[in-house]
Each structure stands twice: as structure tokens, then as C-alpha cells.
Structure 1
Amino acid sequence: MKQTRRTMCAAAILVVSLVAAINLALPALTTALHPTQSQLIWIVDAYVLTFACLLIPAGAAGDRLGAKGIMLTGLAIFATGSIAATLTQHPTPLIAARALSGAGAAMIMPASLSITVAAHPPNQRARAIGIWSAATGAAGIIGNIGGGLIIQYLPWQALFAIPALIALLLAATIAHLTPRQPHRQATIDPIGTLLLILGCLTLIYAIIEGPETGWTSTPVLSAFATATTLLTSFVLHQLRTPHPLLDPRLFTRPQLRAGTLGVSVLFFGLFALFFVNARFLQETHGFSPVVTGIAILPLVIPMIALSGRPTPPTPAIIGGLTAVITGLAWLAWATTQPYPLYALGLALMGTGMGLALPALSTKIITGLPTEQAGLGSGLNSAARELGSAVGIAIMGTALATSGLRAGFLIVALCVTAGAAPVIHALSKARSGSLGVGL
């Protein structure tokens, strides 16, 4: 049981850490490949967006076909994309390789949580989910430190070659040690999947291209209109089809609604920070890549410490969201201050993540029946990655148009707006909902 949990946490850490690690390579990639600002954002977001868009169907596929098989397939695709990234000499094929790796990551992430949940008896699942959540929350910091070491001492291609090797080693371990999971009756909705993927792609395209092309330009307005049409069509299709990929009526459950939106809001703020943190510390404070990776530790230490403490879920979530908002506002002020004051903002954000994330993830998984474990895992991961993708896009566009300080303030306002419906849903949730005891 412990061996399975550790292996699944390692697989999840691998795919999440690469989201953060790429940010440390942006200066090197800019020098080597000369991407435009839009291409630079797509180098980051192609992975995250593909990852996010495929998580829910990948989770359902794990329920239907077996999580172990989906996990091994995902590791193979992830490794293939990573190897392809090492061979690129131009931004466009690098973006395509990143997208392929993201597709593999989408298969790995929900399968890792589904296998973890299945490996534990019901009375230990909250603890297992909390440990998995803490590991994936810390993965961004692991990516920062590991990425910093790689960029400092190795060519940028090593940032993709080393994860490919790790993925292949994990695949061999899982094939040998992890038991197969039972198949369940789950539907892979091809029409719903296509509508969801296309809707998310066009939405993020509009957000990324807005500053460069113009928010009122025909391509951007057309993309927003298309995204609205596609996502509305997805919801209508899910309401009509007898076997929906993700029935929107599930979100009438306050616990599930609070968990999903809350996780998305937290990762929106966290990965908006990751997108600018490495470049800011290197360019403004003159830190090396290694020191930049270490400088994120004020965020990770409280995150790990607090994730290991049993906390009543509602106070933990509200307190955590408040700490993240406060941390973002503090960082906006601290961009012109010495690093120790900037580090205090990081510590506030780490405190918020450590308090709120395990409780929110548990609300998602326990908000669905056991036979929908894969779907719940996919939904939890999709909330993370969609929040991350939009956070990166919003911070990237704010940085290009308004500067770093305004970017932090805009992200803080967005997190505040997202926190309000989370708190409202918590107030409606049934009293005595499951807490998190690690």
C-alpha cells in the first residue's frame, strides 16, 4: 500500500513539476530559439492546456479500461513528447512536443489518484488523498529547484531528457509492482470530449493573443465567441445525452462545487506566481537558476508542514484562500523591496495552499460515488490544470500590458472573485462534511 502510494505520488510530481520547471528555462529558450511573446506563453501553456483538456476523459477512460493500463500508456506518451522536445530547433515544434507530453500527463494524473484511492481502505482514503494533494502541491517547488539545477549546469534540452528517463523508469516500476485495477462501467463521450477540448483551446487562445493582436481584433473576438458557443454546446450536450462525460447536474452538490472551484482558484494564483517568479528573481535580483529554485522554499515549507495537520475543512479553506489573496497583494508591493520581504509573500501563499488544498481535493473525491473514482480524479486534476493555464495566461497578458505589480494585483482580484462562490458553496454544504486528517 505504501509502495503504491509513493510510486503514484512520484508519477504525479513528475508531470506537475514540469509545469513549473519550464519557467526557469524561459530565458535560455528565448536566447536559443528566439520565440515571440505569444510563442513563449504557448511553450508554457501548450502542455498545461492539453493536460487540462484531456483530464476528465482520461479519468473516465481509466474507470472503463483500467487505471494501470492508462497510467502506463500515459507515461509512454509523456516520454515520447519529452524526447521530441530535446530535438527541436524552433519554437513551433517545441510547442507541439509540449502538447504531446501534456496529453500523456493527462492520462497519468487521474490514474495516479485513482490507483491511490483504490489501494487504501475507506477509513484511510482521506489521509491518502491529503498526502497525494500535498505531494502535487509541492511538485511546483520541486520543479523550480530541479529545473534550476538543470538549467544552471546542463543544456536546456536536459530539462526534457531527464523527465523522459524518469517516466520510463516509473513505467517499469509500475508494470512490475502495481496491481491492476478493476474495470468499471464508464462512458467515454466522444462528442462531449471534442466540445470540451475545442472550447478550452479557443478560450485560452483568446486570452493569450489578446494583448498582442488586440482585445477588440476580429481573431480575438471570434475566439471568445467560438469558445462561448462550444462550451455552451458542451453543457447542453451533457444534459441531453444518456451517458454524459461530466453531468453538469453534479455541480448542484455544494461540496463538489466548492472543491472544484476552490482547487481551480488556488492553482490560478499559484501558477500565475510561478510564471513570473523565476524571471523576476533572475532579472531583478540577479539570482542564478539554482538560487532562484532555492528561493521558492519559503512557499514550500509551510505548504508541506500544514498539509500534514488535521484541520476542520471549512475554516481551513476560508483561511487558506484569505492567505493566498493576502500573499498576492503583498507580492505586488514587494516587487520593489529586498528579497526577504518578497519571501514573506511567498510564505503567505504557501500557508494558504497548505491549509486549503487537501480539504478541497477531498471534497471533490468524496463528492462522487466510489465507482466514479477515475472521473473524480480527473475532475480534481482538471480543476488544477485549467486554473493553472488561465493563471499563466492572465499573468502573461497582464505582464505584457501593465507590468509585474499590476499583474499581481489583477491576479489577487481574480482569486478574490473566485473565492466568493467557493465560500458561498461551503455555507450550503451539509454540516459535518468529511475533513482531512493526514
Structure 2
Amino acid sequence: MTVHPGVATPSLQTPGRLRALLVVLCAALALVVAGNSALAIALPDVARALGADQGELTWIIDAYALTFAALLLPAGIAADRAGRRNLLIGGLLVFGGAGIASAFAPDPAWLIGLRALAGVGAAAVFPVTLSALVDAYPESRRGFAVAVWSGVSAAGAVAGTIVAGLLLEAFWWGSIQIAFGVAALALVPAVAVLVAQRRDPTLSLDPLGAAWAVVALAGLVYGVIEAPQRGWGDPTTIAALGVGALALAGFVRHELRSAAPALDVRLFRNRGLAAGSLLVSLQFFASLALFVLAPQYLQLVRGLSPLEAALALLVIGLGVGAGTALAPSALRRVGARIPGTGGLLAMAAGFVLLAAALGRADAPGQLASPWLLAAGLLVFGAGFGLAVTPGTVLILEGLPAERRSVASAVNDITREVGGVLGIAVLSSALISTYRAEIAPALGSIPADAAGPTSAGAAAALGVAADLGDQGAALADAARAAFAAGVGTALWLGAAILAAAAITTWFLAPRR
């Protein structure tokens, strides 16, 4: 990288300072990773408090993930150009402020908008957490730092659900947003002291490429989320998907023709970068969707409290820890292809087990097949932990060293784009199945209650509570329909993961 006057360059770090940097950056990483999983555990409470339907609940999660994903690439370039410390501090301020404000949102629309703003802050935080670590740590210990970062990126989602569950035992859903917002603001002084201000002002921000990417993601995600409610043949759905596809083509064309592209798409001819991007995106396609769907199921269908639902999911962290511990040695011995493929297959197997455990409605307060649920979460977590480090390393090694923040942003984009699409696609599968399954029960309830009942299980259970004896049958039908929808989503996710594993085996380099 060219060194310019007034541009700080990394200095040798003492062991104590490296440890402090690792703690601070991983704390920032955990906050933005848990930004979705923590609120997901509270979605039933949000639905009751704000009157949100299932589509709005999906947007509450995806609005954050969408702006997060769409702005990661320009944020990575901005970090390399304007300075990593500056961008990280700005991101923490925006993330924290929007999070605190969202706790007092009066309706779903306000909450969706503030969640989107929090995603802007998260986009500024995420790429710096990895690039600053990679630059600060010597090559001999860089694998350790990346493994810790990868483990935190996976475990952060689990930790977020536990923290959220504990808060919901005593407070309302907005307490989660306040706690995470305050924690983000509290990290700012440590970041100002520990993170190096490395920058290269000659880099191009490529605003047109960023605009194409935002439009492409927004169109595709909007179409996928709205399709179950409007119909796949609805003009709005078709128009959104068409705009997204055209914008994606425009992004590729622009990047190919640009003299200073934000992301040279020709680099994806590198098999390692292509395989790593596929590997990471499909991991988060499945995992973020799981953290949105499973808590709702455990609370709405099984009648668990938010804390009980979070604790039921805790076993996934044990699997992630075991898989992450095995990944570095497997990567050194056999390369990325075997652990990457094996991890995806294990995740698919975990989804199959979870579909068997969650694809039916049991009596409220009871959790049938607890061992099957635990086994599914453990196997899924182990597969995730095993594959996430190889995927990250393949991406980092696929881009030049002087574009570390961009490489980190590519890694993060694949995660977040995969997560956005996973939440959208699997939630859409759930909604479609739920509506088909609940339809026979709509004829036996008042006409004005049919709309809310078909909008989602949380609303249906609220309607059932007002119908007296007649409501018991409706509540049972809603739980069964929601369980069937979760089962459909998990089977679809398992099939996608298995296909990705096969593709990774043939695409990834042998060593």
C-alpha cells in the first residue's frame, strides 16, 4: 500500500495491547451480529405490542440486514480511504443511537426505519473488526485471531438471544435495543485508543457501484418477502424482482467497465474466492433464518417464555465451539475444501433433525422430542463452526493484501446477503405454508377476524383469546399451521445446504 503524508501506519503491538484490541473488536463484532438474533427472540412481544403482522416482523429483521449488506462494500472502501478508527467510531455511534431510539418506536413502520438506520451503523463497524485484527496481528498468530473472530461472529448470535431472554424476563422488548445501544456507545473510548488509523486517500469510493448494489438487494429482497402476501404473479412482486435483477446486472456491468471498481467481479474467477463466498453466504442463509424462525416457534407453538426459548437454543453454541476448535488444524492439514464441504453437510443434517423436531405442534408448554431438538442444534452448530473459518480464509486470500478492509467487506457482504435472503426465502416458505394450512379454520370465525388470523400466528392467537370456547380450536389450528410452515422452511433449507456442499466440493481448491 502506498504511504501518504499524514497517514498513520500500523506499529508493532505489545501482547497486552493485542489482547485488548481483540477484546474490543470482538465486542463490537458481537453487538452487530447479535443485532438481529437478540430482537428475533422478542418478535412475539413486538407483534403484540405494535400490532405487527408476519410480513412486518420479517421486515423488522430484514431492514437491518438489508442496509447492513448493501453498504458493507462502500463501508470497507471508506475504512481504507478515510481511516478505520474514524469509520468504526462513527458506526458505533449510529448503531447505538438508532438502537436506543428504536426502543420507543410507536408502530412497526417506525421500528423498521430505525432498524434500517442501525444497519447503516453496523455496516461501518463490521469490516473494520476483521481488517484491523488481521493487520495488527503478526502472521504467525493471525490464524488464531481469525479463528477467534469467526467464533465470536457465530457465538454472538447465540449470546444475543440469551441476553435478550434475560432482559425480557423483567422488562419490555425495547430494553434489548437500549442495552445493545448503550453497550455500543460505551466501546467508543476504547476504540479511539486501540484501533490504528490506517488509510489510503487515493482509493475510489465508487458511489455508482454502491447505488446499483443497494437497488439490486432492495428489489430482490422486497419481492421475496412480499410474494407470499401479494402472490408471485402480482405486478408489484414481479416489478420488484425485475428491478432487482436488472440492478444486479447493472452492478456487474458497471464494475467490469469501471477504471476503479469497488469490487472487481473478475476476481471471482479465483476458485478460492468464489468457493469461500458461496460457503459463507449459505452458512448465514441458514443460520440467520434459524435464529428468526426457531424462537417464534418455541414461544408461539410450544408456549415457552423468551428466556426458555433462548436457553433451548443455547446448545447450538456448544456445537459452534467444537467445530471452530477443529477448523484451524483441519485447514492446515487438508485445506479448505474438506472442512467446508463437511460443515455444510452437517448443517443440512442438523436442519433435517430440526424439521423432525419442530415440524409439528405439541401442547403449549410442552417440548416434545427435546433430545431430537438438541441433537439438531448441536449438529448444525458443529457444521457451522467447522466451515466458517475455511470460508473466511478463502475470501481473505482471494483479494490483495492492500485491500484488507475490502476483503473483510466481501466476507461480510456474503454473510449478510446470505442472511437477508435466508430470512426472506425461508420466512416466505413459512408464510405460504401457514396460510394454506390455516385457511380451513377461517370459515368458522367472524369475517373481521379472518384477516389478522391469516397474517400470522401471533395475531391468530390474539384473536383466539377473544373468542372464548370457539377460540381454542382456532389456537390449535394456528399452532399446527405455524409448525407446518417451520417444517417446510427447514426442509427447504436442508436441500439448499446439501446442494451448496456439493458445489463447494467441486469448486474449492484442493489445498
TM over 0.5: yes
The residue that corresponds to 1:424 in the other structure is: 506
Note if 1:332 corresponds to 2:351. Answer: no
Deviates more, 1:389-398 or 1:304-313: 304-313
Deviates more, 1:101-110 or 1:2-11: 2-11
**Cα 1:354/1:283, change in 2 over 3 Å:** same
Q: d(CA) in 2 for partners of 1:45 and 1:88?
A: 17
> Runs of 5+ in structure 1 lacking a partner?
433-438
Q: d(CA) in 2 for partners of 1:267 and 1:177?
A: 30
- In structure 2, the residue corresponding to 1:188 is in which secondary structure? coil
Residues 55 and 225 in structure 2, CA contact (< 8 A), matched pair in contact too: yes
The residue that corresponds to 1:5 in the other structure is: 22
**Cα 1:131/1:185, change in 2 over 3 Å:** farther
Note if 1:379 corresponds to 2:396. Answer: no
Q: d(CA) in 1 for partners of 2:72 and 2:196?
A: 22
The letter for the 1-side match of 2:428 is T
Alpha-carbon distance, 1:423 to partner: 2.1
The residue that corresponds to 1:187 in the other structure is: 204
The residue that corresponds to 1:154 in the other structure is: 171
Residues 44 and 300 in structure 2, CA contact (< 8 A), matched pair in contact too: no
Residues 130 and 362 in structure 1, CA contact (< 8 A), matched pair in contact too: no
Note if 1:410 corresponds to 2:429. Answer: no
Alpha-carbon distance, 1:37 to partner: 2.1
Q: Size of the alignment, in residue pairs?
A: 429
Residues 272 and 411 in structure 1, CA contact (< 8 A), matched pair in contact too: no
Note if 1:359 corresponds to 2:390. Answer: yes
Which runs of structure 1 show a deviation greater than 6 angstroms over 4 or more consecutive aligned residues? none
Residues 338 and 505 in structure 2, CA contact (< 8 A), matched pair in contact too: no
Q: d(CA) in 2 for partners of 1:184 and 1:422?
A: 37
Alpha-carbon distance, 1:44 to partner: 0.8
Residues 152 and 290 in structure 1, CA contact (< 8 A), matched pair in contact too: yes
The letter for the 1-side match of 2:254 is H
User: Aligned ranges for residues 130-209 of structure 1 at < 5 Å?
Assistant: 130-183=147-200, 185-209=202-226
Alpha-carbon distance, 1:281 to partner: 1.4
Alpha-carbon distance, 1:184 to partner: 6.0
The residue that corresponds to 2:41 in the other structure is: 24
The letter for the 1-side match of 2:207 is P
Alpha-carbon distance, 1:341 to partner: 1.0
Deviates more, 1:302-311 or 1:200-209: 302-311
The residue that corresponds to 1:85 in the other structure is: 102
Q: d(CA) in 1 for partners of 2:22 and 2:486?
A: 39
Residues 84 and 195 in structure 2, CA contact (< 8 A), matched pair in contact too: no
Note if 1:268 corresponds to 2:285. Answer: yes
- In structure 2, the residue corresponding to 1:55 is in which secondary structure? helix
Q: d(CA) in 1 for partners of 2:141 and 2:240?
A: 45
Deviates more, 1:295-304 or 1:12-21: 295-304
Alpha-carbon distance, 1:176 to partner: 2.5
User: Aligned ranges for residues 59-138 of structure 1 at < 5 Å?
Assistant: 59-138=76-155
Deviations 1:403-428 (A, max 9, x none): 111111111122223333322211xx
Alpha-carbon distance, 1:34 to partner: 0.2
The letter for the 1-side match of 2:507 is A
Note if 1:314 corresponds to 2:337. Answer: yes
Residues 284 and 422 in structure 2, CA contact (< 8 A), matched pair in contact too: yes
Q: d(CA) in 2 for partners of 1:276 and 1:182?
A: 40
What is the TM-score when the length of structure 1 is the normalising length? 0.95
Alpha-carbon distance, 1:177 to partner: 3.0
The letter for the 1-side match of 2:373 is Y
Deviations 1:226-251 (A, max 9, x none): 11110001000100010001111000
Q: d(CA) in 2 for partners of 1:135 and 1:186?
A: 30
Alpha-carbon distance, 1:147 to partner: 1.1
Alpha-carbon distance, 1:183 to partner: 3.1
**Cα 1:179/1:241, change in 2 over 3 Å:** closer
- In structure 1, the residue corresponding to 2:182 is in which secondary structure? helix
The residue that corresponds to 2:431 in the other structure is: 400
Q: d(CA) in 1 for partners of 2:293 and 2:428?
A: 11
Residues 337 and 504 in structure 2, CA contact (< 8 A), matched pair in contact too: no
The letter for the 1-side match of 2:493 is V
Name the Cα RMSD after superposition: 1.3
What is the TM-score when the length of structure 2 is the normalising length? 0.82
**Cα 1:364/1:185, change in 2 over 3 Å:** farther
Residues 24 and 151 in structure 1, CA contact (< 8 A), matched pair in contact too: no
The letter for the 1-side match of 2:340 is I
- In structure 2, the residue corresponding to 1:35 is in which secondary structure? coil
The residue that corresponds to 1:436 in the other structure is: none
Q: Greater Rg, structure 1 or structure 2?
A: 2
Residues 114 and 373 in structure 1, CA contact (< 8 A), matched pair in contact too: yes
Deviations 1:325-374 (A, max 9, x none): 11111111112442221111111101101111011111111221110100
Q: Whose RCO is larger (CA < 8 A, sep 6+)? A: 1
Deviations 1:42-84 (A, max 9, x none): 1111001110111111011111111111100100111121122
Identity of aligned residues (%): 34
- In structure 1, the residue corresponding to 2:41 is in which secondary structure? helix
Q: d(CA) in 1 for partners of 2:290 and 2:100?
A: 28
- In structure 2, the residue corresponding to 1:261 is in which secondary structure? helix
